[in-house]
Amino acid sequence: MAKQLFMSYLRLVSLLIISCIFSTAASGDIVNNSGGPIAPPDNDSVGAFSTINIAENELISQVHLSIFGANHTWVGDLHVTLTGPGGVATVFSRTGSASGTGVGDSSNLFGDYSFADGGADWWFEASERSDNEALTPGTYQPTENTGSISMFGDVFAGTLTAGDWILFISDNSPGDTGGITGWGLTIQSQVIPEPGVGIFGGLLALAVLCCRHRRE
């Protein structure tokens, strides 16, 4: 009897371990750099955009935006947003113009730039550049048109990855033009586990063993 009881408990422990394994969500990165070029028309708030479609349906932890081949004079002209299935986040907007309607900063974009929560201060970098000097390529914190921080996490964290992601750029003052050659996303996410499958299996096994012990 004792041996049978021990073997029953051993089977139960094995089932619970397996249940926990299958109930755990795996995490990783979704990387998609297929975003096309964007060349916004000069002094036109209608702007231009490019779309990336994400097929994987996972739970978002963090979003990292990469902009490739940026080449545009007078960064203060530009308003840039990233739209995902979970909402719209400002990337940067009218840099250097606290009113959001002034001429803004006169430095230029030239190279590859990334935007993610915890990045360097975008407005400070712009203020350190002289007229027509390029901002240093690197990773920067998304920033509102007032200079305050825009958090990708506040918009996207906890939402799902699947669907269209849209990068929008508009040029809002005359005399300076340019664009980007492409863009991409790195999304840190978790696979959504089958809800309750592992736990249900463990509880079912426990109920069956309890019934057997009562009969014995």
Give pLDDT tens digits for 87-133. Answer: 999 999 999 986 555 678 999 999 999 999 999 999 999 999 988 89
Pairing verdict, β 163-171 and 44-54: antiparallel
Residues present in the chain in total: 216
Average pLDDT score, the chain = 84
Cβ atoms of residues 32 and 206 within 8 Å: no
Q: What's the CA dihedral at 40, 42, 46, 51 to 10 degrees?
A: 0
Confidence of residue 15 (pLDDT cuts 50, 70, 90): very low
Amino acid sitting at position 51: T
Assigned CATH topology for domain 28-193: Jelly Rolls (2.60.120)
Is the backbone of residue 197 left (phi > 0), alpha (psi -120 to 50) or beta? alpha
Residue 16 has pLDDT above 70, yes or no: no
pLDDT at residue 19 in the model? 45
Cβ atoms of residues 78 and 180 within 8 Å: no
> In the sheet where 163-171 sits, what is the strand order?
44-54, 163-171, 78-84, 87-93
* Global pTM value: 0.79
- CB-count exposure of residue 25 (10 Å: 0-12, 13-18, 19+): exposed
Q: How far apart are CA 59 and CA 54, in angstroms?
A: 12
Cβ atoms of residues 171 and 118 within 8 Å: no
